[in-house]
Structure 1
Amino acid sequence: MRSEPTRRAALALALGLLALPAQAQDAAGKKPLRIGIIGAGKIGGTIGTLWVKAGHEVMFSSRHPEELKGLVEGLGERARAGTPAEAIRFGEAILVAVPYKAYPQLKADYGEPLKGRIVLDAGNATQARDGDLYAEVSANGIGATSAKYLADARLVRAFNAANYRVFEANANRPAPRMAVPIAADDEAALEMGKRLVSDAGFDPVAVGTLKDADRFAMGSPGFGHNLSAPDLRAKLGLAP
């Protein structure tokens, strides 16, 4: 069985990301961004890799950043490894992709530096793993619960509605691209979320506010679909 660092390096190679030029964003008149990722596992590693491919600078983080050496070396000079605190300082936007049971500790350790930051929240709560937090999400909704533990961040729910393998297999596919639902209360954060979903190789579908994130939460009818944007809008009952 491959180790996690080896798997991450293989992912980078599989997506063809060695020595890629960084002109994609500049050609579109957009300056590449600095993105920090808290949790460089399956979702964080996959989406971060796609952002490097799009020309962004990405800091993957872990409490043990030396374990990310294989991943960042495979991605080239626009990828680096650091601690979560370093990734937060580095990023113009932050992706949180950690197990949901870690959210209370995330708030305790990094709640202050995350205040006012644009944070894409990819977490899902499961009963077997997350216990009391799953009960809290069931009672209050995933958007409200994430907002509680990522208090005062400019939160965008994104990249939670499918397995990482689905994102890996469908990024940048020929039209129609796969749609990714997102939700936010902050308009500027929502616009950043749309850009980052698009840059990862998908079509963003804005569903509404954080309260509306329940419509594509794990276990909901809007979860787990590999659809075009028009088809996802129809599935979720959104205007065309």
Structure 2
Amino acid sequence: MSPFLHRFATALGLLVLLGGAPALAHADALRIGIIGTGNIGGALARLWVEAGHEVMMSSRHPERLQPLALELGERARVGTPREAAEFGQVILLAVPYAATPQIGRDLAGELAGKVLLDAGNPRPERDGPMAEEARELGAGLASQRFLPGVRLVRAFNAISAHNLRSQAHRSGEKLAIPLAGDDEAALEVAARLVTDAGFDPVIVGPLATAKRFDFASGISARMPTARELREILGL
């Protein structure tokens, strides 16, 4: 076991001994602000509402999300990205990667100190030169630079929207969602939300290790279970 994973397991053990994990990880329901409600954000909004969480969906055209909010019921609402950042105890960021730096600048105050699940993938053909630099560094470390002050976890970037919709809560071994982050409590919150969405969380390591499951790694195309992913990555 790596030193990081050993520290993570030790921290969880101490939390159990002390009588509970962080409040966000075990609260009955969380408020989740979704910034960028396209295919990934929309699929997760549905899964998290079904799990009992409250979501605020946002995009550049929030009025277009109103039909989905009405379909999902009273636990779903629509707002601007700023309103979603204010609303959420946890934030899902699922925007084209080139928008990440601007979001970090515009919403720095609203996002400060919050757990942020970063599902964006730098794709040079869409996002330009900044994506090439992010790929070289690794999206985990690149996003950390763009989003200072948040408790960042790379999550849901290595699965397609189709599989989010079709494979959630499947019988037998579930599909794996790899996670990476430097904040152990934030990783626990992310792991809970992965489980609530109907998948198996796999903690890969700190943010630097997120490069191992970046878009170019091919992990999403392989659709591994948690057991298979641990074998692929040697965890």
Match of 2:35 among 38, 44, 65: 38
The aligned residue for residue 141 of structure 2 is 144
Contact 2:85 2:111 in 1 (8 A): yes
Give SS of 2:149's match: coil
Deviation at 1:200, TM superposition (A): 0.5
Deviation at 1:226, TM superposition (A): 1.6
Larger helix fraction of residues: 2
Match of 1:189 among 183, 186, 191: 186
| Number of positions where the alignment pairs a residue of Structure 1 with one of Structure 2 | 210
- The verdict on how the C-alpha distance between 1:30 and 1:108 changes in structure 2, with shifts beyond 3 A counting, is closer
Aligned: 1:225 with 2:218: no
Superposition TM-score, scaled by structure 2 size: 0.86
Question: 1 or 2 for the larger relative contact order (CA 8 Å, sep ≥6)?
Answer: 2
Query: RMSD value over aligned CA atoms?
Result: 1.2
Alignment of 1:23-172 (within 5 A): 30-172=27-169
The aligned residue for residue 216 of structure 1 is 213
In structure 2, how many angstroms separate the alpha carbons of the residues matched to 1:109 and 1:149? 11
The aligned residue for residue 6 of structure 1 is none
Unmatched 5+ stretches in structure 2? 1-25
The aligned residue for residue 4 of structure 1 is none
Deviation at 1:177, TM superposition (A): 1.1
Contact 1:162 1:225 in 2 (8 A): no
Contact 2:35 2:91 in 1 (8 A): yes
CA deviation vs aligned residue, 1:81-130 (integer Å, no higher than 9, x gap): 01111111111100000000111211221122211110000000111111
Match of 2:196 among 189, 196, 199: 199
Please list every run of at least 4 consecutive aligned residues from structure 1 whose deviation after the TM superposition is greater than 6 angstroms.
none
Task: Indicate the percent of aligned positions where both proteins have the same amino acid.
Answer: 52
Give SS of 1:36's match: strand
Unmatched 5+ stretches in structure 1? 1-28
